[in-house]
Structure 1
Amino acid sequence: MTTVTASVPVLDPPAWALSQRALLDLLDSGWRLFSSRYAEPDGSLRYGGRLSSRDGADDFFEPFFNWPQLYLLGGADDLLETCARHWHGVVAQMTRLGMFAEEFELGYDWFHQGESLLFTYFLTAADPAAWAARATRFADLYLDPAKGNYDPRHRIIKAPHNGSGGAREGVADSPSYPWTEAEAAQYGYPLDWLLPPGAPVPPPAEDPRLGEEMQRRLGRGDAVGNLSVAGLVCNAYLVSGDERYAEWLREYVGAWQRRAEENGGVVPDNVGLDGVVGSALDGRWYGAHYGWTWPHGLYSLGQATAVGALSAALATGDDRYLGFVRSLLDAVIERGVKLPFDESDSANQGRWRAHLGPDAHVPTLLVPYRHSDKGWFDYNPIQTSVPLALWHRTGAAEDRARLDALRSAAGYDWATVRPFRDKEEAGHEEPWYAYLCGDNPDYPERILAAAHAQARRRIALLLANAGRDLPEEDIHLWQNVNPVVTEALTQLMWGGPQVVYNGGLQQARVRYFDAERRRPGVPDQVAALVSAIEPEATVVTLVNLSADHDRTIVVQAGAFGEHEIVTAAATAAEPGWTGHDTEYIHHEPVVSAVEHAVGGPHLTVELPAATTVTLTLRLRLRAFRPSYRAPWEAAEPVA
């Protein structure tokens, strides 16, 4: 492994580096507070109630989803063991509550399962040896037809609700789906075409849109949300290297891609048990459970499509699977309108008002999120995380052009950083992209300040609500007060977007390992900043803030060591900058760049006390088989 030794002195520590290290310390104190105030000694959450429906298990895992991500970034050594304890404690809790069997959800939709499984995926990345057996066992629930979930003949998952209990028919255990009046006012009804126009709204127990018809039509066959299963299968591939997982992704994701192509580029949301799109919905390509009509439309199925395509591309090395993400995005963009958000028919007002702030009254591009018999509706700004994740994967000109066009069509400044949080622990893709384009230079300091504010707010809420006896309807409190905020660190340190929340796997241009302690993450007192992510010029600055301790770090190209570092140009300072001890001032360091041949996915960087180095890495993307292997294990070239 090529080694570069830093020699440029740290005379005035960069503000971003000090803020980054302070944020890492703040988050470490935050998770300790949450763990002590909200969890039992076995790691389960303090909750004495029951769960009255199939919903709810995800809410017990989501408060912890990014804790092992923080460990991977450089969080405290004991965080890994704490994460494992919480995982095991919550799994046992869910088993007692009748939601889990054999450590996996009995059967629920993948909008929710994808969210909760992020915790498992990050744990697998952080400690592959400890989690490999589970990762493959969980994926085999879908590869093995005997488990009851997958039909290889029609290439479908046989029900929208699925898991360790196999395909679970229906969408609720009660005769009528538990849809509240408030939810109906916000989102409308599934199967909204069953009642004739002008017909009175029947009581929920007698409403065919919520009762027998919903169970029969929406509770069987495949649904587009199941594409998030691809993240589970890809996680098994990354930890095992077993080609049967890649082959399943070719088969299943490929089938959905063909359905999108046959539907004019717009992915349909349902497939009957006979393998035919629309066979349970009188020929409609829309209307499935968590599909185009109800409840969230593009918000949920856009993420599921991205998870499916990105997972298949990662495991197989074939970017053609990304085509139906492109066609989906282009289809809604070309149907967009330019209106103030204040005038839209959005069903998700709170999220977008936090995102837009005072710009909610400014005309901007709004795209339709939903489709029903009445056509396209529910107009919102596009969720930028999906097109940005696509461009990050490919680096393709067409994917960058799409982002540039979206930026041009926006009525608000993409460089603006607002101190808000959204459910995905993300939402700042736009100002980050502006930074990568070179026209938002103070983004690192501003996004770190926003992250500090978010973490401190959540710690205050955490302390204020500790000791509450939560009823079932309030269990979202846990994720709302999760004090671990990782979006800023992911962008700045790894050069990657926050993970696609409905079950995606982490993307990163670089990752780091502490060479001395042989663990993931930056060493203590080391800060990292990625300021460019082009393949031919990925720029990384490393700073050792310690004035008296040397550090050694391994830089890895890609989240999974999949890229090759062809060369690394490293800044270096000539000796003598300190001057003689009889002088009253240091000499200005003379800095130049020295190019090093690397030829592999890893580069060792020695950081003597109080030194910094900026590396300009020329990368060959996707040169090695992606894997959770550590740098001290041999990489496998792509065949």
Structure 2
Amino acid sequence: MTHRPPTVTASVPVLDPPAWALSQRALLDLLDSGWRLFSARYTRPDGSLRYEGRLSSRDGADDFFEPFFNWPQLYLLGGADDLLETCARHWHGVVAQMTELGMFADEFEIGYDWFHQGESLLFTYFLTAADPHSWAERATRFADLYLFPANGNYDPELRIVKAPHNGGRGAREGVSDTPAYPWTEAEAAQYGYPLDWLVPDGAPVPPLAKDPRLGAEMQRRLGSGDVVGNLSVAGLIANAYLAGGERRYADWLRDYVGAWQRRAEANGGIVPDNVGLDGVVGSRLDGRWYGGHYGWTWPHGLYSIGQAVAVGALSAALVTGDDGYLGFARTLLDAVIERGVKQSFDESDSANQGRWRAHLGPDAYVPTLLVPYRHSDKGWFDHNPIQTSVPFALWHHTGAPEDRARLDALRAAAGYDWATVRPFRDKEEAGHEEPWYAYLCGDNPDYPERILAAAHAQARRRIALLLANADRDLPEEAIHLWQNVNPVVTEALAQLMWGGPQVVYNGGLQQARVRYFDARRRRPGLPDQVAALVSAIEPEATVVTLVNLSAVDDRTIVVQGGAFGEHEIVTAAATSAEPGWTGHDTEYVHHEPVVSVTEHAVGGAYLAVELPAGTTITLTLRLRLRACRPSYRAPWEAR
């Protein structure tokens, strides 16, 4: 290291290994066997997925990347050394596969919406964090598709991305390559239609192929101009900044995210979902601020908009250091919460019944706060519990009282117990922010053991499904199977080890109070046989317990403040034990260790921890949030 960080040495003995530590290490072993099994049974030697079909629409490329999205995240947590090379092989294999299928050019999607591109790019972002030297050039090249107007995606004068579908070949005309958008009867029954006002109530419903809501009018009105979902491109820009530190990426985020923030302010605090090529909100929709592609009316509303706004606001705040960009994410949340109703989910008009019934379990029949996810000419509709990941991500970033108060109010308005842990999975590999928040509030003490048990159950279920479906010849409509049987579950590990929520799924970057590096092997993640538990994440008291379960091997760890070294560790109060706890060899029992706490000045983003064999240490870190420039660089590199 160019600047050796302060060092503390553990001395408290591990006499009775905590259950959470044993379960955590067992989960890491289970996930290691799981990804190896998936790789062997579902992929070819070049890393591509075993798939013989074609893709009939612009959709589908994301589904080839999503099964691997959190594999490099597992490596960052402490997964096997060869996992990094395996991830890179799968990335290159799938990119070549997508190029052959006509979806990619020069390693980037030729043009699709950012609800889906954000999902697929998580794989790239985690790979860049895990191995920035190998991936920095790509991070820069991909971000520059949006920085330079000559690439056809961005208008710097109006500060708009010029189409809902965009990418490696610039703004892509329309929203499909067929005369009518390929919408099915089942999807129409679940989500309704875009441009729903084009067929008045009571009018005959046209066949899908002739419906103006899915044909020429959809291409004309929704096929150009900016949409709120494009805010997820901010994650791509922030990834390039973290890899190289170039100021131009921060400047672009100021311009683009700032433009959307001003549009929200002009719309009474609710971010609009569409901007015409003239830079005017609603100019393609007869003045409507709603109704854009993947916007407030169709298909997912707040589910996709909330994540896109969070990605944009948090990326801009991280890179520029200005938390003012979070304002329009806050007002968006407050606006829908104010319009919420108290009723049981069983009685709601939700379009996403399966996801929320799994989340709520028997509490689907209990009155709770439901907020509207969508808006059309008919007003607000599609009521669901609020997706807690977005308000939680805001509070995690700021630690601000107003963001904590919002979570406390949501918890008080819920008709179900936030401490309940259910072993469900959702698309985001997340959804357990509520019981984790209860744990951090101090009233859910057995959460670590319960969430790890849920993660074990998820991983074992998926391995069983993986084996049961390994020999299927998948048709195009079944390719979601890959992500459904992905055996790598990382939410519990990110929460407990890093003190961070699972990444915002539609293109976000990882949040964490701390991360770890193996100092001896010079790689990210915890060394073998070491477990970590973050039990508090307040800036004044971020509490981390490290346990070396090995009775014979010493370990050395570097604790980093934040996911990207952005937090300064001001001081560290560390536990220690006096020698002599073993007693004399003629005695029949050990002596109870005498534990004390000593405070150490740190004054930087890193703290080295020596963990002799069979020792544990609890660190109470006082952090100064976002006091350092965020970067993917490792602790031993010059900053």
TM-score by length of 1: 0.99
Alignment of 1:68-83 (within 5 A): 68-83=72-87
Alignment of 1:132-531 (within 5 A): 132-531=136-535
Aligned counterparts of 1:311 and 1:500: Cα–Cα separation in 2: 11
Q: Which residue of 2 aligns with 1:583?
A: 587
Aligned counterparts of 1:533 and 1:446: Cα–Cα separation in 2: 19
Map Cα deviations across residues 214-253 of structure 1 (whole Å, 9 max, x no partner): 0000000000000000000000000000000000000000
Aligned counterparts of 1:444 and 1:336: Cα–Cα separation in 2: 32
Aligned counterparts of 2:629 and 2:276: Cα–Cα separation in 1: 35
Residue 28 of structure 2, aligned match among 15, 24, 27: 24
Matched, 1:574 2:571: no
- Return the offset for 1:633: 1.8
Aligned counterparts of 2:201 and 2:43: Cα–Cα separation in 1: 50
Matched, 1:540 2:544: yes
Aligned counterparts of 1:123 and 1:239: Cα–Cα separation in 2: 11
Map Cα deviations across residues 11-36 of structure 1 (whole Å, 9 max, x no partner): 00000000000000000000000000
Aligned counterparts of 1:227 and 1:169: Cα–Cα separation in 2: 19
Aligned counterparts of 1:583 and 1:197: Cα–Cα separation in 2: 87
- SS of residue matched to 1:310: helix
Aligned counterparts of 1:622 and 1:18: Cα–Cα separation in 2: 33
Residue 132 of structure 2, aligned match among 128, 132, 153: 128
- Return the offset for 1:139: 0.2
- SS of residue matched to 1:32: helix
- SS of residue matched to 2:550: coil
- Return the offset for 1:515: 0.3
Map Cα deviations across residues 521-553 of structure 1 (whole Å, 9 max, x no partner): 000000000000000100000000000000000
Residue 594 of structure 1, aligned match among 576, 594, 598: 598
- Return the offset for 1:196: 2.1
Larger mean CA deviation between 616-625 and 61-70 belongs to: 616-625
Same amino acid, percent of matched pairs:
88
- Return the offset for 1:120: 0.1
- Return the offset for 1:181: 0.3
Give the unaligned 5+ runs of structure 2: none
Aligned counterparts of 2:521 and 2:413: Cα–Cα separation in 1: 48
Map Cα deviations across residues 338-381 of structure 1 (whole Å, 9 max, x no partner): 00000000000000000000000000000000000000000000
- SS of residue matched to 2:196: coil
Residue 49 of structure 1, aligned match among 36, 53, 76: 53
Q: Which residue of 1 aligns with 2:16?
A: 12
Letter in 1 for 2:180: S
- SS of residue matched to 1:376: strand
Letter in 2 for 1:532: A
Matched, 1:603 2:607: yes
- SS of residue matched to 2:55: coil
Q: Which residue of 1 aligns with 2:566?
A: 562
Map Cα deviations across residues 482-503 of structure 1 (whole Å, 9 max, x no partner): 0000000000000000000000
Aligned counterparts of 2:415 and 2:200: Cα–Cα separation in 1: 39
Letter in 2 for 1:477: L
Letter in 2 for 1:142: Y
Aligned counterparts of 1:249 and 1:157: Cα–Cα separation in 2: 12
Map Cα deviations across residues 24-68 of structure 1 (whole Å, 9 max, x no partner): 000000000000000000000000000000000000000000000
Please tell me the root mean square deviation across aligned C-alpha atoms, in Å. 0.4
- Return the offset for 1:623: 1.0
Q: Which residue of 1 aligns with 2:103?
A: 99
Aligned counterparts of 1:315 and 1:568: Cα–Cα separation in 2: 26
- SS of residue matched to 1:78: helix
Give the unaligned 5+ runs of structure 1: none
Map Cα deviations across residues 587-633 of structure 1 (whole Å, 9 max, x no partner): 00000001111110000000000000000001111111000010112
Aligned counterparts of 1:156 and 1:615: Cα–Cα separation in 2: 46
Q: Which residue of 2 aligns with 1:40?
A: 44
- SS of residue matched to 1:193: helix
Map Cα deviations across residues 134-185 of structure 1 (whole Å, 9 max, x no partner): 0000000000100000001110000000000100010000000000000000
- SS of residue matched to 1:165: coil
- Return the offset for 1:206: 1.2
- Return the offset for 1:195: 1.1
Q: Which residue of 2 aligns with 1:118?
A: 122
Letter in 2 for 1:70: L
Aligned counterparts of 2:222 and 2:318: Cα–Cα separation in 1: 31
Residue 613 of structure 1, aligned match among 594, 606, 617: 617
- Return the offset for 1:205: 1.6
- Return the offset for 1:634: 3.1
Map Cα deviations across residues 439-459 of structure 1 (whole Å, 9 max, x no partner): 000000000000000000000
TM-score by length of 2: 0.99
Runs of 4+ more than 4 Å apart: none
- Return the offset for 1:197: 1.9
Q: Which residue of 1 aligns with 2:88?
A: 84
- SS of residue matched to 2:178: coil
Aligned counterparts of 1:483 and 1:253: Cα–Cα separation in 2: 35
Aligned counterparts of 1:318 and 1:508: Cα–Cα separation in 2: 18
How many equivalent residue pairs?
635
Letter in 1 for 2:181: Y
Aligned counterparts of 2:374 and 2:205: Cα–Cα separation in 1: 22
